[in-house]
Structure 1
């Protein structure tokens, strides 16, 4: 049975974002909620955020690694829009006060050079549409108490997106194979984790094709200039005020964020 009150649940998430006070998981009250219910809530939440003057600048795709899919108990990624208010640049200070329970993930980002509309988009089509790859980090955050998320909860909550940071260097795909891009993540100069592009669906470009096809079923296209976040290459790392995170990617270069207490 489809979720009966998506607008009410979306309003609860909106208020949690505004007040930085998390809410109980929707799946506590209704364990039957699934992916479709999460997207129904997400579709009610996005207009509330846009009404505040925000705008969509791209999309994130999550659960692109087998390890994360097994942890959540699914066999498919999830997605959500990325908003302009959540964008940071290499070297920026990121206020901890903007989040509830944030964690850092390093990942490969793509910038679209051409419009890409599914269904029927192949990996080759996606590769042609991508202007280039960029070193990036996502700050994942959950408006759900203690990260006690199930699939419907995270999907409803814009796939647990909090913010992202990206380098200004865009590397054309004819200069690299994203599957083979290695990455190291350090916190305050100490190695935290490593990863490689193939962790994202076996090929980060395949993530773009998957997203275009899924969105295309709803009449939504990926537009030129959109940023596509292709999924974490390692386990998420909690962040605290004073932390300096640096992700260094083969061929793409580094991206750094500095975590501060408040605005």
Structure 2
């Protein structure tokens, strides 16, 4: 498919996000829409945001656990970019009205102290390059109607990313991230999981991202943050439902949701 369609779809998705009006499934409207097309749309979307002053500060890799793959019917990891406008502080109060149909996940983020690139990057390389890990909550939102997505739809829509809340950083040295336990609470929902749910080890998810990025001629830059993927299934982000993810010795991260009536 040609570049004009990629640009048009990127503009459509950005408008959907800003106006909070979802659009029909892209792959249903454009038979033959490929993964290459989807990442081309994502690059156009990123360019539009950067032209508007947003600064890319990292990446997210999604669908790294079986729980998320089953939930959305996706059979392989994907990635999206993070901008400075998407980052929120621990304990923040989120306005649910800024999203379409938000969901929230608990995971770890990695901050790199050196560049990481290449098609042979390993989990060990990630741990050696990381200066800190951070408890994280990712708010996902789909600009596709009713979360009716396949892999190519979510990729085009920047991997269904919306916001990220980062907790206090801790050094990764000495931590067994695969064995670490998460308790995730969102309103009445309580879910538990270990780091091994994410491709066997959260650092392996970051390594996978680096290898995928290498196929597009790029990599992860020193100072950037990477969300390594949800440890358990996502839940709806609802007004009045506090959210917290606790990771034992790695600490915790939380948010609350504004309960104001948008019509009042």
Name the TM tier (shorter chain).
over 0.9
Count, aligned residues: 261
Gapped regions of structure 2 (runs ≥ 5)? none
Q: Is the 8 A contact 2:57 2:224 kept in 1?
A: yes
Q: What's the Cα RMSD here? A: 1.9
> Which deviations, in whole Å up to 9, do the C-alpha atoms of 1:179-229 show, x marking residues without a partner?
1111111234x5521111111111110111111121122232211221110
Question: 1:205–1:137: structure 2 CA closer, same or farther, 3 Å change rule?
Answer: same
Instruction: Provide Cα deviations, 1:38-85, integer angstroms capped at 9, x if missing partner.
Output: 111111111111111111111000010134335555542000101110
The aligned runs of 1:76-155 (5 Å cut-off) are 76-155=76-155
Question: Matches of 1:89 and 1:240 in 2, distance apart?
Answer: 19
Give the conservation status (yes or no) of the 8 Å contact 2:178–2:196: yes
Decide which of 208, 219, 222 is 2:220's aligned counterpart. Answer: 222
Counterpart residue number, 2:184 = 185
Structure 2 length as normaliser, TM-score? 0.93
Q: C-alpha separation between the residues in 2 aligned to 1:73 and 1:98?
A: 26
Secondary structure of 2:173's match? helix
Distance in 1 (CA, whole Å) between partners of 2:73 and 2:221 is 31
Instruction: Give the distance between the partners of 1:142 and 1:73, measured in 2 at CA.
Output: 14
Contact 1:60 1:231 in 2 (8 A): yes
TM-score by length of 1: 0.93
Change (3 A) 1:187 1:214: closer
The answer as to whether partners of 1:3 and 1:33 remain within 8 angstroms in 2 is no
TM-aligned CA distance change 1:257 to 1:219, over 3 Å: same
Deviations along 1:223-248, one digit per CA (max 9) or x if unpaired, are 12211101111111101222211111
Distance 2:226 2:165 in 1: 12
What corresponds to 2:69 in structure 1? 69
Using the alignment, how far apart are the partners of 1:186 and 1:120 within structure 2?
Answer: 36
Q: Secondary structure at the match of 1:257?
A: strand
Q: Which moved more, 1:74-83 or 1:93-102?
A: 74-83
Aligned counterparts, 1:209-248, within 5 A = 209-248=207-246
- Aligned partners of 2:71 and 2:37: how far apart in 1? 20
